[in-house]
């Protein structure tokens, strides 16, 4: 057994923080992705342009840089905006908030592309049919489009989830106490970099396996109807 | 799913509301990777000389203090942005930093040394260090000093002091320039046994300043005065000496050195 | 915004760009060669070759690149024996460590792209090629390879762009790539937003140009795209 020199608890705390940040970024990123995908598919040229700027910008810049920018820059920006709105109390953007925002934005940019593809893959005929039998636009979207988009987007979203989970390690650079930084504390204290980074690597690997399992489960659920169809055919 | 939304809601609420200044809770930043001044132990607690001084000052000022760890190169931007109210992290008072922040009087005076393998002759002169690779922490005053006084030296910048020590031990770099007491603690440890401080310690106030001080935002002049007064008190009433003796064999009190 | 600081940072940042591009180019090349080997193992059909190749890909794709770099750079130096070995002259240099980590990392992702592209070539074609008496090498060269390149290239282009972004982690092991220079300047000037923002814009420009070049190559090796363009031009 590997000797963790009493740092096991600290690593567990870090792992929990990593999981929290990943889940927040995923939840925010999925909503953001749907929104931006709709912008990119809208008739408005301005919305399409804004959507394009967002996805190109965030997909073209390293996440490390985005995190650093948010950590250093967002506070000043947020507070100056708040002050012009007449809000005088100080608003803090912690390493946690900066990391969550940066990763949510990155998740959103990748997810937008996945959702755009998925929206386009829903047959137009179905939407026309739904409208023809008198479903409202909103109902058509919620009842016909979204469930299918979810099914089509799931594999892509699963991949993004795995990428973002690993990128949470970068928030350690601005001092968030997630798994990577807790590992560094252990390395500083014990001078055993190989041991602890390897342990951390296997924790990430474990998280990856769990995430892959959950994705597979969600996919098989979303594909229920399709699996039966194929068997009957 | 419900849970992650709850977490999201909490995060947003925290991000938006956390900062609103509660009456008299001071937020103090330290680094946590600078033993024996500030470091994190296996239980996750931040400890060290800086922390004890900060707590003594807060007790003296009768305020509550929340000490948290931040990355070194984010300290001054973080203070300016308002993430915290004071930095107690062994930060040297330098002219350059004074453009960005105010400092209290120095609370200790340490100087800097260059450490290198015992087996290697190393003259700490511009010629002796020419072409040598010396590690320093990114955004530290030692990099500035090396650049100015040893222009031929190759400087390698690290995120943390512990990392340049790992690299010195591994033999990746010829030497390290860092604060004298921090290095002494490492040289006395098992990892640093084959290394020694070369030449004389540096006390160039032009680059290193008069010692380590507590950094306060320029606009918080009242807080600065209170910190200064509290510092004077603990340095004269024995509290400082008691903390000093917990960590060091000799006094770090400014003006009592060398 | 302090534009003065931004303008003054440009020369230093461009110096960082050179190192960034160099790391990306060499790591992509080495990663590609490694990926060929790994893909070969994975498609060999022999379990004792497939399993280690699978583990290799799974480990490198399942752990953060930051950890991989730290393992190579700080981790390996934990072993004194290694410091006395012939490998040390390389492993002591951060440039080589970053290169090793980047190459290994990208090789895992690229081998996935290759595997996907090769298995996407219809089986029937390979059987047909066998039936007309083509040798294994001939089949690979004339049937599988030309199609796999077309199928895999878009995904491969994506990997190169990801490599450009991933190279920013070189700054965590003291290298002065674009991000490293930007972080140094940010801490010297105390103007992080200006300097880091400018670095971000430079990354965007690099990726924009690179995407164009890669699209051009895709077009060159895909006759279908060319004939479509021809048809549109004629119409």
Q: What size, in residues, is chain A? A: 233
* Residues B164 and B182 sit within 8 Å (Cβ to Cβ): no
pLDDT mean over B131-138: 94
Return the partners of chain A (3 or more C-beta pairs < 8 Å).
B, C
Q: How confident is the model over C164-182, as pLDDT tens digits?
A: 999 999 999 999 999 999 9
A192·C186 Cβ contact <8 A: no
pLDDT mean over C25-47: 95
Q: How confident is the model over A56-97, as pLDDT tens digits?
A: 999 999 999 999 888 877 766 777 777 777 776 666 677 888
* Residues B175 and B116 sit within 8 Å (Cβ to Cβ): yes
> What pLDDT, on a 0 to 100 scale, did the predictor assign at position A231?
46
* Residues B249 and B257 sit within 8 Å (Cβ to Cβ): no
Could you tell me which residue, A81 or A44, shows the higher pLDDT? A44
pLDDT band of C233, cuts 50, 70, 90: low
pLDDT at B256 over 60: no
pLDDT mean over B152-175: 92
Query: Which range (A63-77, A142-156, B148-162, C61-75) has the least confidence?
Result: A63-77
* Chain B hits for A95, Cβ within 8 Å: 70
| Residue B30, beta-bridge partner list | B69
Secondary element (H or E) of residue B52: helix B49-61
* Strands (E) located in chain B: 25-30, 33-34, 38-40, 46-47, 64-69, 86-92, 102-103, 112-117, 133-137, 154-158, 175-179, 195-202, 212-216
B77·C183 Cβ contact <8 A: no
| Residue B178, beta-bridge partner list | B113
Nearest CA in chain A to B84: A92
Q: Which of A185, A186, A193, A221 to mutate to test the interface with B (most CBs of B within 10 A)?
A: A185
Please report where in the chains the tokens 């342990």 appear, as a residue. Answer: A199
**Phi/psi of residue B46, each to 5°?**
-90, 135
Could you tell me which residue, C118 or B42, shows the higher pLDDT? C118
> What pLDDT, on a 0 to 100 scale, did the predictor assign at position B1?
45
> What pLDDT, on a 0 to 100 scale, did the predictor assign at position B3?
54
B169·C190 Cβ contact <8 A: no
Beta-carbon-side half-sphere exposure of residue B121 (alpha carbons within 13 Å): 2
pLDDT mean over C185-210: 91
> What pLDDT, on a 0 to 100 scale, did the predictor assign at position B8?
53
pLDDT band of B41, cuts 50, 70, 90: confident
> What pLDDT, on a 0 to 100 scale, did the predictor assign at position B258?
42
Nearest CA in chain B to C73: B167
Name the segment(s) of chain B with CATH classification 3.40.190.10.
Answer: 22-109+210-247, 112-208
CATH class (in words) of the domain with range B22-109+210-247:
alpha beta
Name, of A22-31, A184-193, B152-161, B199-208, the range with top average pLDDT. Answer: A22-31
Question: Chain C contact for B138, CB < 8 A?
Answer: yes
> What pLDDT, on a 0 to 100 scale, did the predictor assign at position B49?
96
pLDDT mean over A191-215: 94
> What pLDDT, on a 0 to 100 scale, did the predictor assign at position A129?
93
Domain ranges of chain A: 8-232
Nearest CA in chain A to B43: A10
Q: How confident is the model over A2-17, as pLDDT tens digits?
A: 788 888 999 999 999 9
pLDDT at A166 over 50: yes
* Chain A hits for B40, Cβ within 8 Å: 185, 188-189
Distance CA A114, CA B190 (A): 53
> What pLDDT, on a 0 to 100 scale, did the predictor assign at position B12?
52
> What pLDDT, on a 0 to 100 scale, did the predictor assign at position A90?
63
Question: Chain B contact for C42, CB < 8 A?
Answer: no
pLDDT mean over C49-65: 96
Mean pLDDT of chain B: 87
Of C94, C184, C190, the CB nearest to B100: C190
* Chain A hits for C62, Cβ within 8 Å: 162, 166, 204-205, 208-209
Question: Chain C contact for B100, CB < 8 A?
Answer: yes
C200·A56 Cβ contact <8 A: no
C190·B156 Cβ contact <8 A: no
CATH class (in words) of the domain with range C3-234:
mainly alpha
Q: Which of B7, B15, B172 to mutate to test the interface with A (most CBs of A within 10 A)?
A: B15
Q: What size, in residues, is chain C? A: 235
pLDDT band of B17, cuts 50, 70, 90: very low
Beta-carbon-side half-sphere exposure of residue C25 (alpha carbons within 13 Å): 8
Distance CA B258, CA C7 (A): 45
pLDDT band of B21, cuts 50, 70, 90: very low
> What pLDDT, on a 0 to 100 scale, did the predictor assign at position A227?
55
B157·C83 Cβ contact <8 A: no
Name, of A122-126, A136-140, C32-36, the range with top average pLDDT. Answer: C32-36
Question: Chain B contact for A3, CB < 8 A?
Answer: no
pLDDT mean over B23-34: 87
User: B residues 170-199 near C, CB within 8 Å?
Assistant: 170-172
Question: Chain B contact for A92, CB < 8 A?
Answer: yes
Residue pairs spanning A and B at CB distance below 8 A? 96
B77·C184 Cβ contact <8 A: no
pLDDT mean over A191-204: 94
The encoded tokens of residue A181 equal 């930084």
B167·C187 Cβ contact <8 A: no
Using alpha carbons, list the distances in angstroms from residue A65 to C7, C10, C166: 19, 17, 11
Return the partners of chain B (3 or more C-beta pairs < 8 Å).
A, C
**Regarding the domain with residue range B112-208, which homologous superfamily does it belong to in the CATH classification?**
Periplasmic binding protein-like II (3.40.190.10)
Q: How confident is the model over C4-20, as pLDDT tens digits?
A: 888 999 999 999 999 99
Q: How confident is the model over C71-125, as pLDDT tens digits?
A: 999 999 888 888 888 888 899 899 999 999 999 999 999 999 999 999 998 989 9
User: What proportion of chain C, given as a percentage, has pLDDT over 70?
Assistant: 97
> What pLDDT, on a 0 to 100 scale, did the predictor assign at position A88?
66
pLDDT band of B220, cuts 50, 70, 90: very high
Question: Chain B contact for A192, CB < 8 A?
Answer: no
Q: How confident is the model over B71-80, as pLDDT tens digits?
A: 888 888 888 8
> What pLDDT, on a 0 to 100 scale, did the predictor assign at position C216?
92
pLDDT band of A173, cuts 50, 70, 90: confident
Question: Chain B contact for A184, CB < 8 A?
Answer: yes
B11·A24 Cβ contact <8 A: yes
C94·B80 Cβ contact <8 A: no
The encoded tokens of residue C7 equal 């303008």
User: B residues 57-76 near C, CB within 8 Å?
Assistant: 73, 76
* Residues C102 and C73 sit within 8 Å (Cβ to Cβ): no
Complex confidence, ipTM: 0.86
pLDDT band of C2, cuts 50, 70, 90: confident
Distance CA B231, CA B103 (A): 12
* Chain C hits for A173, Cβ within 8 Å: 172
Torsion of CA A204, A205, A208, A212, to 10 degrees: -170
A173·B69 Cβ contact <8 A: no
User: What proportion of chain B, given as a percentage, has pLDDT over 70?
Assistant: 90
Distance CA A9, CA A25 (A): 25
User: A residues 19-78 near B, CB within 8 Å?
Assistant: 20, 23-24, 26-28, 71-72, 75-76
* Residues B228 and B220 sit within 8 Å (Cβ to Cβ): no
Mean pLDDT of chain C: 91
pLDDT at B10 over 70: no
> What pLDDT, on a 0 to 100 scale, did the predictor assign at position A57?
92
> What pLDDT, on a 0 to 100 scale, did the predictor assign at position A82?
74
pLDDT mean over B96-125: 92
CATH 1.10.3720.10 fits A8-232, yes or no: yes
pLDDT at C234 over 70: no
* Chain B hits for C77, Cβ within 8 Å: 166-167, 169-170, 172
B42·A5 Cβ contact <8 A: yes
Nearest CA in chain B to A7: B42
Could you tell me which residue, A146 or B88, shows the higher pLDDT? B88
pLDDT at B46 over 50: yes
pLDDT mean over B240-248: 93
Q: How confident is the model over B48-73, as pLDDT tens digits?
A: 999 999 999 999 999 999 999 988 88
Could you tell me which residue, C194 or B16, shows the higher pLDDT? C194
Question: Chain B contact for C142, CB < 8 A?
Answer: no
């Amino acid at each position: 057994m590997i000797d963790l020199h009493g740092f096991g608890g600290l690593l567990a705390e870090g792992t929990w923080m990593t999981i929290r940040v990943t889940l927040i970024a995923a939840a925010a990123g999925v909503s953001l992705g749907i929104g931006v995908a709709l912008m990119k598919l809208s008739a408005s040229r301005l919305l399409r342009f804004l959507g394009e700027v967002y996805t190109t910008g965030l997909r073209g810049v390293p996440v490390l840089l985005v995190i650093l920018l948010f950590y250093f820059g967002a506070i000043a920006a947020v507070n100056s905006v708040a002050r012009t709105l007449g809000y005088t109390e100080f608003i803090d953007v912690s390493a946690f908030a900066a990391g969550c925002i940066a990763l949510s934005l990155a998740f959103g940019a990748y997810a937008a592309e996945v959702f755009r593809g998925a929206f386009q893959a829903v047959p137009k005929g179905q939407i026309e049919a739904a409208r023809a039998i008198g479903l409202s636009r909103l109902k058509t979207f919620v009842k016909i489009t979204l469930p299918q988009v979810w099914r089509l987007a799931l594999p892509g979203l699963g991949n993004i989830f795995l990428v973002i989970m690993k990128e949470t390690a970068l928030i350690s650079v601005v001092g968030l106490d997630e798994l990577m930084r807790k590992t560094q504390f252990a390395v500083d204290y014990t001078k055993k970099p190989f041991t602890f980074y390897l342990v951390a690597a296997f924790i990430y690997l474990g998280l990856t396996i769990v995430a892959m399992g959950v994705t597979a489960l969600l996919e098989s659920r979303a594909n229920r109807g399709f699996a039966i169809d194929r068997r009957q055919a | 799913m419900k849970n992650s939304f709850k977490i999201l809601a909490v995060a947003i609420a925290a991000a938006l509301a956390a900062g609103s200044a509660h009456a008299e809770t001071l937020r103090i930043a330290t680094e946590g990777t600078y033993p024996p001044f500030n470091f994190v132990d296996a239980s996750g607690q931040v400890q060290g000389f800086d922390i004890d001084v900060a707590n003594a000052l807060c007790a003296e000022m009768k305020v509550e203090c929340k000490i948290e760890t931040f990355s070194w190169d984010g300290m001054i931007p973080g203070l300016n942005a308002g993430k915290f109210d004071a930095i107690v992290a062994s930060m040297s008072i330098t002219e350059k930093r004074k453009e960005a922040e105010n400092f209290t009087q120095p609370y200790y005076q340490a100087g800097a040394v260059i450490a290198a393998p015992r087996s290697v002759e190393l003259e700490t002169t511009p010629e002796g260090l020419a072409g040598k690779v010396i590690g320093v922490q990114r955004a530290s005053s030692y990099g500035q000093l090396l650049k100015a006084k040893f222009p031929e030296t190759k400087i390698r910048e690290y995120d943390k002091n512990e990392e340049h020590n790992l690299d010195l031990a591994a033999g990746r770099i010829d030497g390290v320039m860092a604060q004298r007491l921090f290095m002494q603690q490492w040289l006395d440890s098992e990892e640093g046994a084959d290394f020694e401080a070369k030449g004389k310690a540096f006390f160039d106030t032009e680059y290193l300043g008069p010692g380590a001080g507590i950094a306060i935002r320029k606009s918080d002049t009242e807080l600065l005065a209170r910190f200064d007064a509290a510092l004077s008190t603990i340095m004269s009433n024995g509290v400082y000496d008691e903390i000093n003796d917990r960590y060091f064999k000799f006094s770090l009190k400014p003006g009592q050195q060398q | 915004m302090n534009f003065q600081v931004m303008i003054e940072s440009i020369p230093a940042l461009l110096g960082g760009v050179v190192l960034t591009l160099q790391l990306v180019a060499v790591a992509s090349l080495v990663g590609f060669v490694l990926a060929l080997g790994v893909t070969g193992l994975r498609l060999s059909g022999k379990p004792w070759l497939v399993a280690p190749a699978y583990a290799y890909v799974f480990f490198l794709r399942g752990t953060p690149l930051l950890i991989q770099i730290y393992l190579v750079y700080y981790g390996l130096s934990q072993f004194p024996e290694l410091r006395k070995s012939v490998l040390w002259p390389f492993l002591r240099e951060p440039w080589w460590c970053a290169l090793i980590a980047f190459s290994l990392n990208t090789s895992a992702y690229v081998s996935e792209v290759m595997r996907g592209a090769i298995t996407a070539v219809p089986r029937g074609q390979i059987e047909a090629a066998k039936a007309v008496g083509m040798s294994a090498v001939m089949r690979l060269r004339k049937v599988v390879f030309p199609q796999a390149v077309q199928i895999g290239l878009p995904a491969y282009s994506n990997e190169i762009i990801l490599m450009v972004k991933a190279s920013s982690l070189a700054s965590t092991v003291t290298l002065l790539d674009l991000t490293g220079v930007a972080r140094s300047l940010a801490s010297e000037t105390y103007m992080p937003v200006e300097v880091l923002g400018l670095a971000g814009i430079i990354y965007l420009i690099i990726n924009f140009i690179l995407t164009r070049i890669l699209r051009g190559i895709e077009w060159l090796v895909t006759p279908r795209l060319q004939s479509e363009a021809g048809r549109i031009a004629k119409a």
